[in-house]
Structure 1
Amino acid sequence: MDFNLSRKAKSITPSVTLEITAKAKAMKSEGIDVIGFGAGEPDFNTPKNIQNAGIKAIEDGNTRYTATPGIMELRKAVCDKFKRDNDLDYKPENILVSSGAKHSIYNALSAILNPEDEVIIPNPYWVSYPELVKLADGVPVEVKTLEENGFKYKVEDLKKALTDKTKAIFLNSPSNPTGTVYEREELEEIAKWAVENNIFVISDEIYEKLVYDDANHISIATLNDKIKDLTIIINGMSKAYAMTGWRMGFAAAHKEIIKVMTNLQSHSTSNASSISQYASVEGLNGDQSPIEEMRKHFEDRRNYMVDKINSIEGLSCKKPKGAFYVMANISEVKGKEIKGRKINDSIDFAGALLEEVNVALVPGKAFGADDYVRLSYANSLDNIKEGLNRIEDFLK
């Protein structure tokens, strides 16, 4: 039967990362010992003080509608966080709380884009960026970033991608899937280009607290007032606070942008979960030591994973400076036959690992980078060791 469904909606591709995770979970439910490297969420529980704040919100009856942009206590806590962590001055009128950072991005794109406006996206990209742009009637324009350049934008490439339809650029630091962290000088170049061309910067900073070695997270909005006015910061509680299921994101921007985003949200989802909002106040204002404890575990796991991958013949990777992912280069494996299976692309490679040795990872094709696969180290060190040993045995 032809239901004559929306052409735009049908053009959106499903999330490969969620598909891989769902397939791995289904295999586990059948009793199969699957090691999953696909997770885009911490394997830690939400810190106890945040859990208790959520329970208290329920017990206190804070379970009703709130103002669309979020409860004042949370918006003030977000402002305090920006001042404390980023030296950025925002007022509650500059903040919109939404149902996850992905929702915040959708609000931002819907607020700034007109049909056929172009949005520059780094390749490799987070799987949802192109689809979110298309949902907002925009056109995603990919700019290839190279492994030897740390998977970072080069301003020369941005200049080449610029047209009279360019409206915005995505900046994701620390990055999913590459773990890239931009340095101040690099951000200054991008900011100069954006201001000169009046381009919005959607700065996805959801992994800001997960940085390693000598890396520091710098928000591009801190560089000057002009770039601050053009920047829409996307952040939330999911990654650093292990609150993925609480669905809690927030955006910070010029009050005129936030006003339009708030109007959009008022007619789509209204407020984010009241319980999650009260829990997030405690998360931002309360004890931060559990976040640092998680970060240290991620750093140890990253170090092991990077060393092990680089010891496996046919694989290689750079050491990421942030987030909790490694992009492993599989270009030497492509075109080969392993266990009777021809590995033509990253999807073949991921499929073979899942079926032959019960290891789930995400093919780089999902991120626009077919020479790579993404492995998450949001997993126990024991599982990481076992999973990488299985991959090594498979390639042998």
Structure 2
Amino acid sequence: MLISWWGALLGLLLAIILILKKLNPVYSLFLGAIFGCLIGGADFVQTINILTKGSQNVMGTVLRVLAAGMLAGVMMDSGAADVLARTIVAKFGNKMAIFALTFATMLITAVGVFIPVAVLIVAPIALEVGERLKISKLSLLVALSGGGKAGNIISPNANTIAAAKGFGLQLSQVMIADFIPAVVALFVAVATASLIRKKGSIVNQQDLELISESKSKKKQAQPTFAQALVAPIIAIVLLLLNPIGSIFHLELLEKFNLDALYVLPLAAVIGALAMQQGKKLREFALSGVSKMTDVVLILIGAGAIGATITSSNLPEMLIQAIKSSGLSGTLLAPISGILMAAAAASTSTGVILATGSFAKAILGFGVAPLAAAAMVHTGAIVIDQLPHGNYFHVTANAMHMDIKERSKAILYEALVGGSAMLTATILYGFLHL
């Protein structure tokens, strides 16, 4: 070990404090890593070696996140996600409006659209429904945010990729493991939103006028519902071939060990061609990559702080401390996800920090890698919606809410995320399914 446990811990704390102080997360992570190494006993050369090693360790995840950007760009910029949302809401009708809105947001997040963008896509539809049925903005936001959280833990998004690679798993394994927690979160979101449908301000005509102005600026040819489904269906089918083969002992399918690195771009290309938008592939790719840039940079920074911690004896100290307290070491997985995501106010950054910093300690308790990934991942969606993060403000603007009104949703959103986390912890942490 090159670094003392307290040096690594102080480095992590410094990084979190700087993020909370609104310094760029990437620089916050690098500064925390450098500080932790130097104060923990490493010299300047050793510090550079540790940071370089940490950055190299996340390159596999970086490649898969960039690959996911291609699919995200196609789904968002082609109009496919909007078509999926509007069709689902129209099919379910007024009686199941809250369920339809929640499910629509879950679905378009699950097929690779980032959760803030998913809420932005469904928000105009939700406001139209809310005005017609007299449902409060608070209720609508809980439905959309809750559906997004449910979809986010079963999506080929950056957070799921980070959870998988952080514990040496395939993306499809984590998506499958998180399916039951996601379904639980879906129904908790619907139940919660239904209970508070009259609480808070109701959508008014001014909100609808703002939607009309936005629509007039975004006129484009829309794909059909069937065309919009092509890319996500191909991605999901290809990713699940190997796991299905393993479950049912089908040798032919077991040979199809397809990685997200080439499955997601392939699905994106086929999807764009199916929507007759092949000429826009270059635009979709550029859009997707630009949307992933921040995540990739954070990954590199998180790799540095993760290497600082794993180069110290902090994981061993954590194991000893938890054993001495009599607590179950299993709980370190969801707790690390909750705390890191809360500190960064971001699911992706929270998962990246939790896996990079605590994976060794979590596995040291004998927790299976898949169980650890599921618990960290679901833990990261509990309170990632705090005000110091981008998601809080994007969703507030989408629903035309002020800060005070938006803040009232935090607890309800935590109930939804908490239901997924508790389900994963019980199923995989204690029942060992």
Same fold, TM-score > 0.5, yes or no: no
Structure holding more strand per residue: 1
Q: TM-score, normalised by structure 1?
A: 0.30
Structure holding more helix per residue: 2
Q: TM-score, normalised by structure 2?
A: 0.28
